[in-house]
Amino acid sequence: MSFIAEIAVTSDDFALDHVLAAAPEMVVEVERVVATMEDRIMPYFWVTGGDFEAFEEAFEADGSVNHATVIDEVDDSKLYRAEWTKNVESIVTAYLEIGATLLKAVGKDGRWELRMRFDDHENLAAFRAYCSEHDIRFELLHLQEQNQPMASAQFELSSTQRNTLLAALEAGYYEVPQRATMTELAAMLGISQQALSKRLHVAHKNLITSTIAITRSDDG
């Protein structure tokens, strides 16, 4: 039986400590993590709000990532690709060595909230042992057994993206003619239209990548 753990950790025990300190008002959300053929670990993450110039300048002083590059921009958000350094004893190294799965990571003002999946008790125990041995501190917010399939994880959707898509569907946003505009849907969700646009953009991209793109690749 696998487990889903939600934990909170300071940025110096995860990633982007200098970056988040330089721009504390900005929100960073890891979209996905890719392991390349060269054995490099490359996270993709969205950054929203605040001073992008200060944020990008801080990359030079941050030892947790290398080669940060902007690859997409949507409204007031930017999508970055970077490379995690492997010589840092942190939560990143812990979950990579143990073989856990990072489902969600949101960072702001020196703090990260993570959602991780562990294959079994031994996997979870090994993660705790690694963190204890290397003095990595984290707060366990919630732990549950995964007793049913996770559709959102299967399609690389965060819980926020999944809930936004469902809300849009139920409100009639996807119907022709629309029963709810983007402005109305944003008001229903209590977020800005720009934030809603970003969520839908990322969610649609993840759905296409994990369904249509995979099918096309399999078909040769």
pLDDT in tens, the chain (220 residues): 788 888 999 888 888 888 888 888 889 988 776 655 445 667 888 898 878 888 888 887 787 788 888 988 887 888 888 887 755 557 777 777 777 888 788 898 888 998 888 888 888 888 889 888 888 888 998 888 865 555 555 566 776 788 888 889 888 899 888 888 999 998 888 888 888 998 898 888 878 876 665 444 444 4
pLDDT at 219: 47
**Do residue 53 and residue 22 come from a single domain?**
yes
Cα angle value 125/130/135 (rounded, 5°): 125
Alpha helices in the chain (DSSP H): 17-22, 52-57, 91-98, 121-133, 151-154, 159-171, 182-189, 193-210, 212-218
pTM for the whole structure: 0.62
Give the pLDDT confidence of 88-114 residue by residue, as tens digits: 557 777 777 777 888 788 898 888 998
Same domain, 28 and 136: yes
Is 156 found in the same domain as 137?
no
Is 191 found in the same domain as 110?
Answer: no
Residues 138 and 201 in one domain: no
Decide if 116 contacts 95 (C-beta within 8 A).
yes
Identity at 24, one-letter amino acid code: P
What integer pLDDT is reported at residue 173 of this predicted model? 92
Residue 58 confidence (pLDDT): 86
Domain count, the chain: 2
Same domain, residue pair 21 and 48? yes
Query: Would you state the pLDDT for residue 39?
Result: 53
- CATH code at position 165: 1.10.10
Same domain, 32 and 61: yes
Helix and strand tally (H, E) in the chain? Answer: 9, 8
- CA dist., res. 217 & res. 5, Å (int): 33
Q: Which of 130, 145, 160 is the last residue of a domain?
A: 145
Is the same domain home to 60 and 43? yes
Burial (CB count within 10 angstroms: exposed 0-12, middle 13-18, buried 19+), residue 158: buried
Tell me: do 45 and 29 sit in the same domain. Answer: yes
Are 124 and 158 part of one and the same domain? no
Regarding whether 23 and 90 lie in a shared domain, the answer is yes
Q: Give yes or no: residues 23 and 101 share one domain.
A: yes
CB atoms within 10 A of CB 219: 6
Q: Of 145, 180, 202, which closes a domain? A: 145
Rounded CA-CA distance 191/198 in Å is 11
Domain boundary among the residues 145, 166, 197 is at 145
Count of Cβ atoms closer than 10 Å to residue 207 Cβ: 17
Q: How far is 101 from 98, CA to CA, in rounded Å?
A: 9
Domain boundaries, position 182: 151-218
